Amino acid sequence: MKTIEELELLKQGMIEQLPQDMLNIMESSLSDMLSKKLDSHALQHGDIAPNFSLISTENQEINLYKLLENKPVVISFFRGSWCPFCVKELEHFESNLKLIQQEKNMHFIAISPQKSEISAQLKKEKSLSINILSDVENQVANKFGLVFTLPENVRELYKCLGAYLPDFNGDDSYKLPIPATYLIGQDKKIHFAYVNVNYMERADISALINSLD
Signed CA dihedral, 156, 54, 133, 98: sign only:
positive
- The length of the chain in residues reads 213
Domain count, the chain: 1
Domain hosting 169: range is 3-211
Give the DSSP letter string of the chain: --HHHHHHHHHHHHHHHS-HHHHHHHHHHHHHHHHTTGGGGS--TTPBPPP-EEEETTS-EEEHHHHTTTS-EEEEE---TT-HHHHHHHHHHHHTHHIIIIIS--EEEEEESS-HHHHHHHHHHHT--SEEEE-GGGHHHHHTT-EEEPPHHHHHHHHHTT--HHHHHSSS--EEEPPEEEEE-TTSBEEEEEE-S-TT----HHHHHHHT-
Whether residue 182 has pLDDT greater than 80 = yes
Q: Is this structure's pTM higher than 0.85?
A: yes
What CATH number did the domain enclosing 118 receive? 3.40.30.10
- pLDDT tens string 8-21: 898 999 999 999 99
Q: Give the pLDDT of residue 213.
A: 67
pLDDT grade, residue 25 (50/70/90)? very high
pLDDT grade, residue 5 (50/70/90)? confident
Q: Give the pLDDT of residue 1.
A: 59
